[in-house]
Amino acid sequence: MNSRKTAAAIAVTLAMALGASACGSSDKDSDGSKGGGGSAKADAGLSSIVNASDKKGGTVVYEHSSGPDSLDPGNTYYGWVQNFSRLYARALVTFKPAAGKEGLEVVPDLATSLGKASPDAKTWTYTLRKGVKFQDGTEITSKDVKYAIERSNFAPEALSNGPTYFKAYLEGGDKYKGPYKDKSPEGLKSIETPDPYTITFKLNKPFADMDYLAAFSQTAPVPQKADKGAEYVQNIVSSGPYKFDSYSESSGATLSRNPEWDQASDPIRKALPDKIELKLNVNATTVDEHLLSDTITADAAGTGLQSKTQPKVLVKADEKAKTDNPYAGALQYLAMNVNVKPFDNIECRKAVQYAVDKAGAVNAIGGAVKGDPASTLIPPSVSGYKKFDLYATPGNKGDAAKAKAALTACGKPGGFSTTLTARADRPDEVLVATQIQESLKKVGINADVKTFPADKYFTDFAGVPDWVHKNNAGLMMMAWGADWPTGFGFLDQIVNGSAIKPSGGTNLMELNDPKINKALTDGIGTVDPAARTAAWGNVDELVMQNASVVPLFYKKNLLYRPESAANVTVTEAYLGMYDYVLMSSTK
Amino acid sequence: MAAYIIRRVFAAVLLLLVVSAVTFAIFFLVPRLGGQTTDSLAAQYIGKSPTPDAIAAVKKNLGLDDPVYLQFWHFIKGIVVGAEYNFGPNPSVCHVPCFGYSFKTHVEIWPEIVQRIPVTLSLAVGAAVIWVLSGVAIGVLSALKRGSIIDRLAMGVALAGVSLPMFFTGLVSLALFSFHWTIWEGLEFVPFTENPGQWAWNLILPWCTLAFLYSALYARLTRAGMLETMGEDYIRTARAKGLRESKVVVKHGLRAALTPLVTIFGMDFALLLGGAVITERVYSFQGMGAFAIQGVTQSDLPKVMGVTLVAAFFIVVCNLLVDLVYAAIDPRVRLS
């Protein structure tokens, strides 16, 4: 008995000590006025560059709780790698390293200007800067860019991680076998390189967002000599201001200055730090603690502090001042399948629109820090966002009276039963699903919540129309972030009829409305940027009129700026993480 | 003796084959029984939007369409003669012993494991030394001073050690000594060959937390064993002969009490060599346990297979060693 008491006493002591450490970790920050970041307010990074500095030197240290899909610019889909790769890979164009909305602007990088389009938006030409060199001193030519695109989009047997938009939009892209199998010297014919500084893309349909495709790290040049396919990641040849000193899949990478990089050829990078360190597979709690204790500069993933760390920071004014709470460029929504009864009737869809308590959903996952109630598909941080609310309810809490009226109009005054799917390993999504289940119940709709593993959600369940019909899965939880931050980049994969697939589809509503499809096609054929951007808001409105999507909330992250982090600003172009091109360190 | 060892080695190889076959089946047969197609298996190894082209290419490259026994045969063959894969302009060679090529990150598995063995080995050896020494010492002391304050206190701590899971003690120790008092700041693994002092210093915390878990068990076992043997007739005989008390305790008492401990130690130590999964994760050490977790979360079969086989290998070897050690410490055991 005695030993049990002792054990209990020890356990209590340990637990209290843990609590003490949780409350006391800020004392070392109170003397920290040296960084200059101390004067900034919460959310300062959303609209300005915090702790701006022109001082060269120092080491920027990033940590990540797992790892990238690949650091190879031609084999990655992750937003943070797109952002990070700009330190060692220069794409044709990229997003402007700047604060606020300016960060959504595409600016020339390896190219001298943005793409020059033919009037039908089917032919795009870029001119490369002269005298830009790889880290081995050889000059970068248009052939290196062409090769990089060929390997990244057309060799799925070796490089399968990245998006394949070039394959989808380039003429003859469906037939070309990729540089590893097709060894002919001309390669893909629809990418022309008439001289070492000109590259022309011939597309199979009008596509005016071409500059956004050209901003993918896939257009960063790769010398054919050095390409070893999937193993290229071990020896990446830099075209940017930093080169790899070491790389290991398990522990990370160290980058130092690339002597062949020339500031004169690069108007957008200041390249302030001397060294960049990226540490991988660090325990997530440790990453947060390192941020709070100013041991590292940033969490590479850019998804912010973990839920359990957030309260620690938010309760103290001086700590909260070091946080930014940006939109993550993603929307959590509820999809209604228009081919599952009774959601084939728009009135029944409207009933759900009015019944759902969006404010409650946000509260369920932790309140305003995690998201804002949404009324549109396109989030405010994406070009083309238009503010409107077709199904407004008081305080976003739902309107039972309107919902019941819609149910009556649908011919189901007593309500009905259906199934609501969610991803089991996404706790927030399950919480929201349960909360929606409750608010639907109030108007007589009984939704049976069923959860499935995230990695099979689209390939085996919600993304398979046959499965959805058979299982009466009228309601499906879904979250979406754009591959590039325009209305088209956001909407095309989730509301276009062409995104309905036998398996792995992301148009969960099975929305195949000729009006919406046409509006998307017309919009992407519009070369004028202002007119094009305006088109996306209208598509958004068309989808909302169809009532098959209930936007729940625009996701938000809680980022933390340690004292030593300099030139810190949120880039909306990369899902609301910090801009890694700008970031430097006083350490 | 030689015949005995040969027999055991032969059995060990057979056992390893069975283990790898079972692991293989868990990855390739069980999902199929659950209704998965080879397409969905291949889709896991492609990024966000798997196209039919990419699925076909990956299936062909990894041989996922072959019958499972054939895939297993290719795997076993690879260990002995190496293999070739097409992940680029030229075929990539997977050198002997080829434990496969990661489906996700396209690196050879064996060098990755070799690179991680020092981490896991450092963790396991250091912790084992601490837990055996402290566990046995505390156990003996408790047994000799049965019922005293020391005994009760030691057994109390031991109970706590046994009952507190690693992810709790690990995180608490990190919170206290690394984040709060910053005695060990920026804890990371430093290879012994690079800086032995730093190596030992950075390992103290993981060693102690790991040892805390195990030494508790060993203390209790030693105490029980000692209490039993110290009551035996031959101890009284030894004392009656006029032997010094220290000799009675160590040579006659402890030696007999140790035999069951050796068996357990063999198993515990071997399991740790296969990867201290939670410890490595908590302290962000890139050992074999961390590698196994990576493999499991990414559904990257070759990684899991590699670690499983190496772990099984250690268990088999340690068991063999334990049996041999038995003969040395327990005169009653004969090999023939």
| Nearest by CB: A230 against B87, B157, B169 | B87
The strand pairing partners of A247, in sequence order, are A253
SS3 A71: coil
Question: What number is the average pLDDT over the span B283-305?
Answer: 87
Q: Do A157 and B283 touch (CB under 8 A)?
A: no
- The model's confidence at residue B65, banded by pLDDT at 50, 70 and 90, is confident
Q: Which pLDDT score is estimated for A496?
A: 95
Nearest to A357 by CA among A336, A326, A334: A334
Q: Which pLDDT score is estimated for B323?
A: 82
Residue B328 pLDDT > 80: no
- Cβ neighbourhood burial of A1 (10 Å; 0-12, 13-18, 19+): exposed
| Nearest by CB: A285 against B164, B171, B294 | B171
Residues A365 and A417: beta-carbon distance below 8 Å: no
SS3 A468: helix
Beta strands in A354-463 (DSSP E): 371-373, 417-423, 446-452
Residue B332 pLDDT > 80: no
Closest chain A residue by Cα to residue B93: A231
- The model's confidence at residue B80, banded by pLDDT at 50, 70 and 90, is confident
| Nearest by CB: A7 against B163, B176, B284 | B163
Please give the share of chain B, as a percent, with pLDDT higher than 90. Answer: 22
Q: Which pLDDT score is estimated for B334?
A: 58
Rounded to two decimals, the ipTM of the complex is 0.84
- Distance between A557 CA and the closest CA of chain B, angstroms: 22
SS3 A349: helix
Question: What number is the average pLDDT over the span B74-98?
Answer: 84
User: What is the tens place of the pLDDT at every residue in B262-281?
Assistant: 888 998 998 888 878 889 98
Tokens of A373: 């109630």
Q: Which residues contact B85 (CB under 8 A, 6 or more apart)?
A: B61, B91, B92, B94, B101
- Distance between B152 CA and the closest CA of chain A, angstroms: 6
Q: CB atoms < 10 A from the CB of B334, how many?
A: 7
b or e along B50-78 (b: 16 or more beta carbons within 10 Å of the residue's beta carbon)? Answer: bbebbbebbbebbebeeeeeebbeebeeb
Q: Which pLDDT score is estimated for B163?
A: 87
Beta strands in A196-235 (DSSP E): 198-202
Residues A69 and A76: beta-carbon distance below 8 Å: yes
Residues in chain B: 336
Residues A166 and B51: beta-carbon distance below 8 Å: no
Residues A483 and A163: beta-carbon distance below 8 Å: yes
Tell me what the pLDDT averaged over chain B comes to: 86
Question: What does the alpha-carbon distance between residue A378 and residue A485 come to, in Å, rounded to a whole number?
Answer: 10
Question: What number is the average pLDDT over the span B293-319?
Answer: 87
Please list the ranges in chain A whose pLDDT falls under 50. Answer: 1-37
For β-strands A191-192 and A198-202, DSSP reports them as: antiparallel
Question: What does the alpha-carbon distance between residue A443 and residue A404 come to, in Å, rounded to a whole number?
Answer: 6
Q: Which pLDDT score is estimated for B25?
A: 86
Nearest to A553 by CA among A379, A403, A311, A434: A379
For β-strands A417-423 and A475-481, DSSP reports them as: parallel
pTM of the model: 0.88
Question: What number is the average pLDDT over the span B176-198?
Answer: 86
Best probe of the A interface among B39, B40, B46, B49, by most A CBs < 10 A, is B49
| Nearest by CB: A6 against B45, B54, B157 | B157
Which chain B residues touch A17 with a CB distance below 8 Å? 172, 175-176
Q: Which pLDDT score is estimated for A480?
A: 95
Question: What does the alpha-carbon distance between residue A582 and residue A567 come to, in Å, rounded to a whole number?
Answer: 6
Please give the share of chain B, as a percent, with pLDDT higher than 70. Answer: 97
Question: What does the alpha-carbon distance between residue B128 and residue B135 come to, in Å, rounded to a whole number?
Answer: 10
User: What is the tens place of the pLDDT at every residue in B216-259?
Assistant: 889 989 999 999 988 889 899 989 999 898 888 888 888 888 88
State residue A443 phi and psi, 5-degree precision.
-105, 5
Radius of gyration over every alpha carbon of chain B, rounded to an integer in angstroms: 24
User: What is the tens place of the pLDDT at every residue in A401-424?
Assistant: 999 999 999 999 999 999 999 999
SS3 A450: strand
